[in-house]
Structure 1
Amino acid sequence: MLSWIDGQSAEALSARDRGLAYGDGLFETIRVSAGRPRLLARHRVRLEEGVRRLSLPVNLELVEDELLRFSALLGDGVAKLMLTRGEGARGYAPQADAQVRRLLLGSPAPAYPVKNSEEGVTLFPCATRLAEQPLLAGLKHLNRLEQVLARAEWSDPAFAEGLMRDVSGRIVEGVFSNLFLVRQGELITAELSRCGVAGVMRAEILQRARDLGLPVIVRDIEYGELAQADEVFLCNSLYGIWPVRGMAKHAWPVGPLTRKLQGLLCELLDS
């Protein structure tokens, strides 16, 4: 596995690193194809917002330059970019002279079944709820324990993803995906100001849909609305779009809007 720390080939990280101790940092999971990071501009925008909110003193031009060089070496696969606040003394207070650590890990692209995209997937209804923290909502920060607990709820390969709700029971996202509903021609996705991850593929789909003149709604989604949906699909930056075929007692067809968006986005991951 290809591994860099601060622009150099390395694997060892200090036991005093705040990313390890507190989850004090951010990450991006980036599809790399033909030596190029896909959706780079959108990853950069989310990273900029995370760096601003966490007050991480890091040169993002340097980070991007390292990512481009790393991707050229990786060729095809997945680059996981992590920024931690670096080493620190015991205690929560961040040090004023923190030296942000820049980590890049390369791995092969995940071998998702083709049928996930073509035929659709079944969702597992997770019991784990997402806590509300507006200061962190939308960010891809290093504390993913809610997702770890949710993913541990099922082992049956019949379920490709899990549905996650907030503490009030509203639909938010998948364990590693964002979720969309289609109802009466409207494209609906959850509002993420309290919790959840603002995915880069979600942002791309919202922009493409608006460019097509489709009605796009970002709002709270109550659990009961699943029964009223005409189509449901998932998205992330590695696999694009998966239609959702069913969950518990619910079933949906692979609809025309899902197929249309799949066609528009396929070149982002494969070209």
Structure 2
Amino acid sequence: MEISYKDRGLNYGDGFFTTIKIESGQPQLWQYHLARLRQCQQVLCFPELDEQAITNACLEAAKGCGLGVIKVLITRGVGGRGYGLPEHPEPKIIITQSDFPAHYFKWQEQGVCLSVSDIKLGHQPLFAGLKTLNRLEQVLIKAQASQQVADDVLVLDIDDNVIECSASNLIIVKNNQLFTPSLKLCGIKGVYLSLLSDHTQIKSKSLCLHDVLEADAVFMCNSLMGLVPVKSLDKQVFNLQTALDLKSKIEATL
């Protein structure tokens, strides 16, 4: 597929995407991914999507794949003067398939070590929770994380609130209650977090680093890795067996 150098996704990050796990030839959690695409379309004032056509294309891309990843990326296409919107936009839909990150299986069983990122997220409530193409903060966060010994990083916002990890949501457990950081000002609400929220009581609230360090268990999650226990955050060590037991109980509700 060819992409024009004038495409608004390339020039302005004018678009959105979602990343889907393929298992046994089927896109997983598809209705949640479709809801995410629909929300982005509405907030960013895109034309209504042909959801059936996108669904059929993803089913075709997943066919015959035992385990893999599909990415659906949608731009506003070409047109408009500068930042101005085209009068009759023709969105570009790009669907690609790739290998599944094999290290996620190890993470699920053995947990991960986190460190706190030095790069902090800015506030933009208009796009908070959405997975738009504007991901430069995450690019820099991932670049820094790759230079560290830890498996991944915990990311704060400019007010030092805990928000997420480099490519996943965060859940903490304290006194048998589940909490996840508020995403009203920044961050991305993942599909797997939405799934968990529909089956398990998870309270969204402002969390600071102290809240995470004092938690009984900590997890990362996204639609590819599922629920992954955190076994340490910098010098703080968490009980991995406690997290694994809680992970089994949470997953049993799905």
Query: Aligned letter for 2:16?
Result: L
* CA distance in 2: counterparts of 1:267 and 1:75, whole angstroms: 25
8 Å contact kept, 2:200–2:250? no
TM-score by length of 1: 0.87
Secondary structure of 1:201's partner? helix
Structure 1 match to 2:213: 227
* CA distance in 2: counterparts of 1:100 and 1:232, whole angstroms: 39
Deviation at 1:72, TM superposition (A): 1.6
8 Å contact kept, 1:226–1:250? no
Structure 2 match to 1:31: 21
Structure 2 match to 1:147: 138
Distance 1:265 1:71, change over 3 A: farther
Structure 1 match to 2:110: 119
Deviation at 1:261, TM superposition (A): 3.4
8 Å contact kept, 1:120–1:242? yes
State which of 188, 199, 211 in structure 1 corresponds to 2:190.
199
Deviation at 1:124, TM superposition (A): 2.2
Structure 2 match to 1:4: none
After TM superposition, the structure 1 stretch with the greater mean CA deviation from structure 2, 201-210 or 256-265, is 256-265
Question: Unmatched 5+ residue regions in structure 1?
Answer: 1-9, 211-215
* CA distance in 1: counterparts of 2:56 and 2:77, whole angstroms: 20
Deviation at 1:38, TM superposition (A): 0.2
* CA distance in 1: counterparts of 2:221 and 2:74, whole angstroms: 24
How many residues align structurally?
253
State which of 220, 225, 230 in structure 2 corresponds to 1:244.
230
Note if 1:50 corresponds to 2:36. Answer: no
Structure 2 match to 1:3: none
Note if 1:71 corresponds to 2:57. Answer: no
8 Å contact kept, 2:62–2:70? yes
Distance 1:244 1:14, change over 3 A: same
Residues 183-231 of structure 1: CA deviation (Å, up to 9, x unaligned): 1111000111111111011111222223xxxxx3111101221221110
Query: Aligned letter for 1:229?
Result: A
Query: Aligned letter for 2:238?
Result: W
Structure 2 match to 1:5: none
* CA distance in 1: counterparts of 2:164 and 2:105, whole angstroms: 22
Residues 134-175 of structure 1: CA deviation (Å, up to 9, x unaligned): 110111101110000111113357422111111100000001
TM-score by length of 2: 0.93
8 Å contact kept, 2:229–2:247? no
* CA distance in 2: counterparts of 1:103 and 1:265, whole angstroms: 32
Task: Provide the alpha-carbon RMSD of the alignment.
Answer: 2.0
State which of 15, 19, 28 in structure 1 corresponds to 2:9.
19
Secondary structure of 2:116's partner? strand
* CA distance in 1: counterparts of 2:102 and 2:29, whole angstroms: 20
Query: Aligned letter for 2:27?
Result: P
Distance 1:74 1:16, change over 3 A: farther
Query: Aligned letter for 1:48?
Result: R
Query: Aligned letter for 2:20?
Result: I
Note if 1:133 corresponds to 2:112. Answer: no
State which of 83, 86, 103 in structure 2 corresponds to 1:92.
83
Deviation at 1:54, TM superposition (A): 0.5
1:173-192 pair list within 5 angstroms: 173-192=164-183
